[in-house]
């Protein structure tokens, strides 16, 4: 194929080749000494001598000025503005992909980007995707590359001021930089001559292709490494060709006029030639002044040099362009062209030229002849708009693809033995790979090779979450299994991330009626910062904590969609008609909040935050519905394991001390506002293919004694008022251990706080404390007046542990024993329990130790150390009474599970209280512990009101503490903020019912997957993820 003509080959030269004498052109000399003002006049179209000399001269001058400006840009860094040659190291392309070395380093530091525009946007907050070559540089220096790499592709540790790049104007600081006109040196003011960035002195032999503009010299164009040549002025035609080439980039796309087969008049050929690039028109458009251009050429030209016609300088915006007449188009597409392939010599019409060249390529099996025509596609501009291929009927699809089908069939018969299906599937596979559709490509490749699709992404995600594998560990096992078995059993990581989106909050659409107050109506809200809004606080002090959470309503929607199968199955089991059950769904939510203690880790960075963490979570306890005809509610779903970590969904994670009342109030304040708004509205959510209405009821029961006092504004547990349910003091509770009722409430605590704050009766401190009954801070979260079963067991076990020590030392005989004696009794008790029951001593009582200690076996072991037989029998009786009362508050439904103990609870509690006040009077004379008081006085009333205590315990939230530490190790990252997001995300996936069902169905697959893991290699791989490369 012939090379596209240079724009310097003007129309008279074409006419000379055809034997036609060119018209005479007046000789107009160019004033090379003119300043920038005259050049700017040309650009602005003002009336001057230069402006009336001709349109082509004006275009050349403007192109020359623009090309100089672009040469300056090529020598600068896009990020910092430095001259590239002054920075040591290679130069990097702004719009290019990451090289392997950079990609490997950033991947180790947690960055998954594959192109530089994404990295630059994240590090320098600069969006380079919309850069223009005439305004912005195309490269950045090695120094900025080091800054991006050291920041891990997510942040910058060096302050770099990114310059503001502006289009070329008369006052362009690149083409005419300014210097300070007043230099305080005491000498006479000197005239400042504007000049461009200076270059070092060069010898007679020049190593660059500099462009002379008047007496000024442009910077060396970036990337040119030519051999030494003598300085010489370039011809105007050659220079113009280079300028147009830099603007349009159409040399390999548009066809040369020399390809016309017949000898036609010059004027006739000019009518079919683009006035910008001098090629045959491609997708022609017509300006308001009547001139014709290629669509891409005129758009690029006006974008760089302004909206005016290159031929007559008439105003011409891209919106003013219209397609030419159909008669002209038919004449254009019927021009005869000579096929450039060797040995062909056929005359082909312009409209069929592309298909003809592609036929040559298929015959030869290469792209030697037709590579220049790949981008030359003719657009259908006649009649109605061209419809997409997939929107056509089957017959129309066959008609449109008939030529391509015949060509592919010829290739399949010649090269692949007639296997047309394999050729088409391979073409489809390559198209998917080139479009980065790797998931569909992997499935298609597996189907083509007969290997099947392996496990579904949900199964692989469930295996990864339940085996606590990091991304690098899972990817390593995925490659190992694929390499050893030759089959793609497990799915790659990108398919797992797609499956995660459907399970995490923020995926499903919903609506609130009426809309929630002070809550956004957006549904696509994922993990958010729990500290948002703190900058508008009263003192504007920065927060010393990190917190991440889900929006409460979005999390509840995701939890209900996770239970969709169970809810629909419950409707079918109860025999209710699905179409009639669209209103009246009632959802009961249990809320839990507790501290996780010390969660300090050796790795990680970020701000200094407390090494204690708090988790706020919720559990969907039940879903019931009241049909239109029935009066009673029907429960269609009940959580079978309400105290399991698998049903306790995390809502908010924060690095904060649970005793920090101010920070806890500020972090949980938005959650409280969202919960109060949801109480007054109803949720419209699609479930089972139909929109259904849900109302939520919240019970804050999963709190221990310390957290309840923090949220309700009560004094600490060691104060005079020991109970969070009634107003009894410690002395009153010890004197009357059984006969008390629940009197406290959230509203009453708010009223008492106002009295404490204002002191309306001008009372003293003691009188005021007695009036408000221990309320000393503002309650900020409503809790359900109840008893936490888990902490009740722990508190009572702690008290029995102390009773055992006192009975071993016979404290009832002597008062005020020394500290050494108490230490000896405790050592004897620990030794006996370790010897007989293999119970190791603990620094702090926990649930597992409490469950084993509060048994008759432990009581018998302790009785071996008690000297008196009478005291042994009293100790056995005390333990026996306690074990008869314990099932009542531990059972999920005591009326069904232990009805006899429930009926005898009041009698047993009275006997237990009598034993404490008589036999163990030495310890309970005028005092009693908080949990013993609640156990003896309030359990029957709570059971009568709520039906259960054990089902509403915080055991699920407490047992999830170990999950926080395991997920933190699994998602070890360099920032605690990102680490907290990963922990919250994977903890939510761990509680997904959808994934739990997959785990039950694919236990064998999980065991096989776990068996392929080498623990030593896993540890090495995890250490590698924490390594930071130093530069």
**pLDDT tens, position by position, 307-324:** 888 888 888 888 888 889
CB burial class (10 A; 0-12, 13-18, 19+) of residue 1022?
middle
Instruction: Report pLDDT digits (tens) over 104-120.
Output: 888 877 788 889 998 88
Using one digit for the tens of pLDDT, what is the confidence trace for 1006-1024?
A: 454 455 444 444 444 334 2
> Strands 634-638 and 139-140: what pairing?
unpaired
pLDDT higher than threshold 50 for residue 589: yes
Residue 838 or residue 971, greater confidence: 838
pTM check: above 0.95? no
Q: Determine if residue 660 is left, alpha or beta; phi over 0 gives left, psi from -120 to 50 gives alpha, anything else beta.
A: beta
Residue 696 pLDDT > 90, yes or no? yes
Residue 623 pLDDT level (bands cut at 50, 70, 90) = very high
Which residue has better confidence, 692 or 39?
692
Task: List, in order, residues 6 or more apart from 686 with CB less than 8 Å away.
Answer: 508, 509, 510, 692
Confidence of residue 210 (pLDDT cuts 50, 70, 90): very low
Alpha helices by DSSP H, 80-129:
100-108, 116-124
Question: Can you give the pLDDT at residue 609?
Answer: 60
Q: What is the pLDDT of residue 829?
A: 94
Q: What is the mean pLDDT of residues 453-482?
A: 85
- DSSP type of residue 1026: T
CA dist 926 → 318, 357, 879 (Å): 92, 104, 22
Q: Are 349 and 272 in contact (CB under 8 A)?
A: no
Give the model confidence (pLDDT) of 898-908 as tens digits.
999 999 999 99
pLDDT at 789 over 80: yes
Distance CA 643, CA 636 (A): 19
pLDDT given for residue 114 in this prediction: 87
pLDDT band at 386 (very low <50, low <70, confident <90, very high): low
Mean pLDDT of 237-255: 71
Q: Which of 998, 766, 789 is nearest to 890 (CA)?
A: 789
Structure tokens, 357: 């060249």
- Cβ-count burial 434-456 (b if 16+ within 10 Å, e if not): eeeeeeebbbbbeeeeeeeebbe
Q: What is the DSSP string of 683-722?
A: EEEEETTEEEEEEEEEEEEE--HHHHHHHHTBPPTTSSB-
Which tokens is 377 given? 């596609």
Residue 380 scores a pLDDT above 60: no
Q: What is the CA radius of gyration of the chain?
A: 41
- For residue 557, which of 519, 592, 594, 595 has the smallest C-alpha distance? 519
Q: Is 985 helix (H, G, I), strand (E, B) or coil?
A: helix
Answer whether residue 76 shows pLDDT above 80: yes
pLDDT band at 875 (very low <50, low <70, confident <90, very high): very high
Average the pLDDT over each of 38-52, 227-241, 314-328, 805-819 and give the range with the smallest value. Answer: 38-52
With both helix axes pointing from N to C terminus, report the angle between 457-466 and 993-1001 in degrees, rounded to the nearest 10: 90
DSSP of 425-472: HHHHHHHHHHTT-HHHHHHHHHHHTT----S-HHHHHHHHHHTT--HH
Tell me, what's the pLDDT at 9?
Answer: 40
Q: What is the predicted pLDDT for the residue at 225?
A: 40
Which range has the worst mean pLDDT, 261-265, 382-386, 838-842? Answer: 382-386
Q: Residue 559 above 90 pLDDT? A: yes
Give the mean model confidence (pLDDT) for residues 372-398.
62
Choose among 163, 342, 138: nearest CA to 249.
138
pLDDT tens string 12-28: 343 433 333 343 333 33
Q: Who wins on pLDDT, 190 or 133?
A: 133
Strands 284-286 and 292-294: antiparallel
d(CA 271, CA 964): 75
- Assign 652 a pLDDT band (cuts: 50, 70, 90): very high
Question: What percentage of the chain carries pLDDT values higher than 70?
Answer: 77
Given a cut of 50, whether residue 148 has pLDDT beyond it is yes
Which band of pLDDT confidence, cut at 50, 70 and 90, is reported for residue 214? very low
Of the given ranges (138-152, 219-233, 273-287, 699-713), which has the lowest mean pLDDT?
A: 219-233
Is a pLDDT exceeding 70 seen at residue 181?
Answer: no
Residue 365: predicted pLDDT: 56
pLDDT band, residue 45 (cuts 50/70/90) = very low
**Would you say residue 651 has pLDDT above 90?**
yes
Q: What is the pLDDT of residue 705?
A: 85
Q: What residue spans of 810-842 are helical by DSSP H?
A: 819-837
User: CB-based contacts of 505: which residues, under 8 Å, 6+ apart?
Assistant: 525, 526, 550, 551, 554, 555, 557, 558, 988
Contact 268, 97 (CB under 8 A): no
Locus of tokens 């003509």: 5
Has residue 539 got a pLDDT over 70? Answer: no
Determine which helix (DSSP H) or strand (DSSP E) holds 61, and give its type and residue range. helix 55-74
Q: How confident is residue 453, by pLDDT bands cut at 50, 70 and 90?
A: low
């Amino acid at each position: 194929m012939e090379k596209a003509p240079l724009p310097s080959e003007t129309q008279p030269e074409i006419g000379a080749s055809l034997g036609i004498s060119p018209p005479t052109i007046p000789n107009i000399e160019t004033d090379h000494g003119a300043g920038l003002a005259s050049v700017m006049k040309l650009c602005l179209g003002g009336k001057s001598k230069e402006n009336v000399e001709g349109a082509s001269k004006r275009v050349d001058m403007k192109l020359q000025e623009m090309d100089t400006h672009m040469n300056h840009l090529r020598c600068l860094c896009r990020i910092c503005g430095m001259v590239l040659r002054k920075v040591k190291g290679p130069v990097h392309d702004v719009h290019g992909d990451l090289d392997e070395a950079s990609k490997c380093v950033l991947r180790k530091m947690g960055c998954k980007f594959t192109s530089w525009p994404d990295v630059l946007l994240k590090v320098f907050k600069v969006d380079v995707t919309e850069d223009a070559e005439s305004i912005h540089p195309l490269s950045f220096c090695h120094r900025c590359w080091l800054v991006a790499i050291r920041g891990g592709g997510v942040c910058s540790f060096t302050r770099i001021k990114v310059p503001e790049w502006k289009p070329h104007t008369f006052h362009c600081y690149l083409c005419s930089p300014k210097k300070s006109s007043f230099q305080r040196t005491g000498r006479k003011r000197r005239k400042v001559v504007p000049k461009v960035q200076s270059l070092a002195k060069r010898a007679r032999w020049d190593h660059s292709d500099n462009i002379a503009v008047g007496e000024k010299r442009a910077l060396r164009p970036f990337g040119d490494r030519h051999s030494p040549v003598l300085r010489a002025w370039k011809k105007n035609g050659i220079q113009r060709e280079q300028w147009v080439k830099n603007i349009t980039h159409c040399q390999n796309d548009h066809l040369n006029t020399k390809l016309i087969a017949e000898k036609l008049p010059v004027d006739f050929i000019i009518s079919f030639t683009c006035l910008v690039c001098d090629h045959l028109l491609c997708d022609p458009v017509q300006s308001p002044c009547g001139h014709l251009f290629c669509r891409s050429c005129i758009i690029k030209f006006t974008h760089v040099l302004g909206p005016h016609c290159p031929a007559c300088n008439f105003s011409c915006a891209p919106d003013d362009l219209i397609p030419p007449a159909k008669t002209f188009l038919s004449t254009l597409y019927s021009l005869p062209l000579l096929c450039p392939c060797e040995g062909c010599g056929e005359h082909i019409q312009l409209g069929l030229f592309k298909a003809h060249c592609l036929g040559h390529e298929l015959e030869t099996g290469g792209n030697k002849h037709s590579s220049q025509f790949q981008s030359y596609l003719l657009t259908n501009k006649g009649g109605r708009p061209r419809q997409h291929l997939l929107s056509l009927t089957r017959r129309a699809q066959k008609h449109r693809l008939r030529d391509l089908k015949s060509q592919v069939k010829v290739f399949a018969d010649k090269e692949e033995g007639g296997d047309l299906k394999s050729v088409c599937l391979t073409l489809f596979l390559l198209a998917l790979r080139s479009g980065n559709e790797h998931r569909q490509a992997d499935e298609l490749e597996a189907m083509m090779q007969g290997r099947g699709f392996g496990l579904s992404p949900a199964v692989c995600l469930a295996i990864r979450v339940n085996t606590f594998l990091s991304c690098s560990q899972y990817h390593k096992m995925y490659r190992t299994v694929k390499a050893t078995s030759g089959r793609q059993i497990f799915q790659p990581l990108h398919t797992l991330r797609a499956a995660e989106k459907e399970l995490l909050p923020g995926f499903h659409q919903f609506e609130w009626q009426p809309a929630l107050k002070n809550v956004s109506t957006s549904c696509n809200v994922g993990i958010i910062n729990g500290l948002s809004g703190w900058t508008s606080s009263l003192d504007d002090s920065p927060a010393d904590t990190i917190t991440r959470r889900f929006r409460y309503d979005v999390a509840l929607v995701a939890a209900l969609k996770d239970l969709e199968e169970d809810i629909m199955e419950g409707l079918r089991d109860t025999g209710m008609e699905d179409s009639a059950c669209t209103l009246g769904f009632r959802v009961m939510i249990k809320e839990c909040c507790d501290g996780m203690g010390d969660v300090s880790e050796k790795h990680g960075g970020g701000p200094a935050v407390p090494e204690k963490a708090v988790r706020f979570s919720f559990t969907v306890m039940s879903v019931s519905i009241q049909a239109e005809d029935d009066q009673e509610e029907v429960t269609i779903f009940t959580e079978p394991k309400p105290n399991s970590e698998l049903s306790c969904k995390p809502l908010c994670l924060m690095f904060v001390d649970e005793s920090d009342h101010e920070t806890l109030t500020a972090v949980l304040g938005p959650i409280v506002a969202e919960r109060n708004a949801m109480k007054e509205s109803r949720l419209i959510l699609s479930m089972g293919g139909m929109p259904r209405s849900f109302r939520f009821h919240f019970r804050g029961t999963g709190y221990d004694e310390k957290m309840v006092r923090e949220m309700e504004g009560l004094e600490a547990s060691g104060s005079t008022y020991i109970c969070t349910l009634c107003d009894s003091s410690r002395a009153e509770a010890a004197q009357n251990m059984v006969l008390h009722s629940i009197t406290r409430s959230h509203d009453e605590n708010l009223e008492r706080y106002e009295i404490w704050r204002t002191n309306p009766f001008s009372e003293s401190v003691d009188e005021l404390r007695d009036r408000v009954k221990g309320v000393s801070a503002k309650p900020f979260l409503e809790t359900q007046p109840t008893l936490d079963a888990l902490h009740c067991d722990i508190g009572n076990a702690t008290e029995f542990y102390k009773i055992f020590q006192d009975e071993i030392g016979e404290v009832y005989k002597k008062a005020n024993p020394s500290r050494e004696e108490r230490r000896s009794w405790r050592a004897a008790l620990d030794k006996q329990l370790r010897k007989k029951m293999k119970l190791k001593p603990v620094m702090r009582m926990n649930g597992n130790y409490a469950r084993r200690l509060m048994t008759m076996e432990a009581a018998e072991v302790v009785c071996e150390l008690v000297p008196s037989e009478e005291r042994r029998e009293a100790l056995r009786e005390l333990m026996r009474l306690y074990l008869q009362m314990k099932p009542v508050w531990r059972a999920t439904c005591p009326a069904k599970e232990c009805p006899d103990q429930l009926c005898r609870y009041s009698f047993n509690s009275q006997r237990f209280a009598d034993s404490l006040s008589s036999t163990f009077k030495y310890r309970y004379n005028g005092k009693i512990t908080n949990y013993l008081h609640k156990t003896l006085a309030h359990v029957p009333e709570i059971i009568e009101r709520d039906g259960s205590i054990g089902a509403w315990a915080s055991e699920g939230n407490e047992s999830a503490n170990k999950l926080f530490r395991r997920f933190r190790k699994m998602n070890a990252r360099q920032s605690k903020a990102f680490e907290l997001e990963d922990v919250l995300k994977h903890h939510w996936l761990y509680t997904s019912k959808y994934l739990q069902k997959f785990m039950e169905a694919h236990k064998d697959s999980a065991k096989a997957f776990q068996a392929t893991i080498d623990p030593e290699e896993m540890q090495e791989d995890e250490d590698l993820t924490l390594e930071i490369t130093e530069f």
